[in-house]
Amino acid sequence: MNVKTNANKPLYVVDKNFAKNELVVGYDDDPLLYKKEATVSAVNWVGQTPKFPLKCEVRIRHRQELQACNVEQKNNNIIIHFIKKQRAITPGQFAVFYFNSICLGGGTII
């Protein structure tokens, strides 16, 4: 009998519940790995700060294709609303914003 198990599949942290001090784990295809939104702090803009809301593109991984998004400013942070859900958005990664292939600036995902 050939029984397929997940015993050898790696687990990933897919969410954090700070109120309960828990890490939520799942497999590489877990829907919780995919997010439509990310918050960015400590943004450094090249030149002038753009006007918000802003339609632009963003890259959250080295060599990743640019991803369409809408960006808004909330307090001192930038909120990215991705057009397509993004996998494994991780605090500490950088988000770099582009408009017509011109770099607008970037900051740290929190």
pLDDT at 4: 57
pLDDT tens digit at each of 110 positions of the chain: 455 567 789 999 998 899 999 999 999 999 999 999 999 999 999 999 999 999 999 999 999 999 999 999 999 999 999 999 999 999 999 999 999 999 999 999 99
User: Which residue ranges form the domains of the chain, and what is each CATH number?
Assistant: 34-109 (2.40.30.10)
Q: How far is CA 66 from CA 37, 43, 109, in A?
A: 15, 18, 16
pLDDT at 96: 98
Distance CA 101, CA 90 (A): 24
